[in-house]
Amino acid sequence: MFNNYHLHYSYSKFYFFPEVFRYTGYYGAFLLWNFVIIPALAEKRRIAWHIILGLALLTALWGLFGITDTWLKGYLFYHKSADYVYNLVFKTNVLYALWVMMMLTFYSMIKYSANFLLSNVDKIQAKYRVLTHDCIIAIVICMIVAFMMALADFPVELITTFVIIAPVAIGIYALSFYSLIPQTLAKNRGIFNYLLKTAGVMLLISIPIGILTSLIFESSEPTFIVGGFNCGIQLLITGPFAWIVYKRKMAGNQEITYLKTALGRSTADLDFLRSQINPHFLFNALNTLYGTALQENAERTAEGVQRLGDMMRFMLQENMQEKILLVREIDYLNNYIALQTLRTQTSPDISIVLQIEEHINALQIAPMLLIPFIENAFKHGISLRQPSHINISLQTKENTLYFDVHNSIHPKVFNDTEKYNNGIGLENVKQRLILLYPNKHELVIRESAKDFFIHLTIQLQ
């Protein structure tokens, strides 16, 4: 413009120093607004004073931009009157100063909003399950991008398109994680079924988005362009991206669950074995006792030692495996029940009723999972002085195990060494069920003054 009017142009006078003063003003306004005025207003400290300070800052910026603009546009003085130039420059810079203050305010809003969202991610996600951790971070990023686009003076059409598409993408992502993908996978459907659901959602929300876009642009052509672009982005990028992320998170969660299960199972098994008699210590001694009992014609003693030996062999060999056949677990239960029956069969007041299915398919179960319930029944349900009963039922239907134990309860006598020793059996098995069969078991325990009842169902493989 200076060349057009054949004027001498000085880079330092008409550009460099005016711009230095402007950017110094930007930076000073940024510091004052975001580190003095806004924090004070947020904390409600001397509100009136800081409002006046904010108005003074707006006035100072207006003056700074007006003065520097008289140098940046100094060529106007050579073909227009001074009054005209000052009037034009200062009127224009009122709006520019307001725009700068608006950008500073927008920045403060983003900063405080982002700080609140990122500091309370867990609370927000707990209250609004649809808002995942990724969605909250995406909201913060979108606010920052929108601010940078406005600051860089992007075209209004581009900013509007971004402001429409970005929230829709976050919403589709959140809805996919919360509802669409879990429902699709629950029905054993694939990604195409999920994308059809996403397309249905897009059809529903396209109507209000189209109305909003037409009001903004006041034309039908941009409305169809933005709508088509929005649908394409959501169906071709956001939807598949959400599917991939969800599947990867599922795989990661399964790996974490497996590791937790392995660790918990090791701890539970260790605690369980610590509560048992060491089979390594007894196994050889049992063989000796068995031979002695046969020599002395003590048939019940020999039978008891033999069954105990079988149980010890089971604990040595099969208890260390992750899964065993259900029939082997039943053999162990029968041995234990037969061993306990040896001491109760002479008492007519003790009733032990068994309904254990013998012919079972090749189902597998974690070892030593059922025995704590039976041990508990014999420990607390049998009294040689009072009538007692134990009813045990074990049935399978398809791949589901149904296990019930119902026994009487007797208060322990004063000198009972087990009176204050509840053991870790039931707590141990509860923990193992949670770890080994998550969402695949149901355990119901009921207790009255004279009876104790457990009902357990497990979905086996």
Q: How many angstroms from the chain centroid is the CA of residue 381?
A: 43
Helices (H), 34-132: 38-42, 47-72, 82-119, 121-127
Q: Where are the domains of the chain?
A: 1-119, 318-459
The pLDDT score that the predictor gives to residue 429 is 86
Would you say how long the chain is, in residues? 461
The pLDDT score that the predictor gives to residue 454 is 94
Which residues are within 8 A (CB) of 9 and not within 5 positions of it... i.e. 6 or more apart? 2, 3
- Pair 111, 34: CB distance under 8 Å: yes
User: Quick one: CA torsion of 326, 328, 330, 335, rounded to 10 degrees?
Assistant: -170
The pLDDT score that the predictor gives to residue 394 is 93
d(CA 401, CA 361): 11
Question: Coil, helix or strand for 44?
Answer: coil
Q: Which two tokens stand for residue 310?
A: 């079988």
d(CA 261, CA 267): 10
| pTM of the shown model | 0.43
Going from the C-alpha of 379 to that of each of 82, 329, 389, 450, the distances in angstroms are: 107, 20, 12, 14
Residues of the chain with pLDDT under 70: 121, 124-133, 261-262, 264-300, 302-307, 309-320, 359, 412-424
Number of neighbours of residue 418 by Cβ within 10 angstroms: 10
d(CA 375, CA 340): 9
CATH architecture of 318-459: 2-Layer Sandwich (3.30)
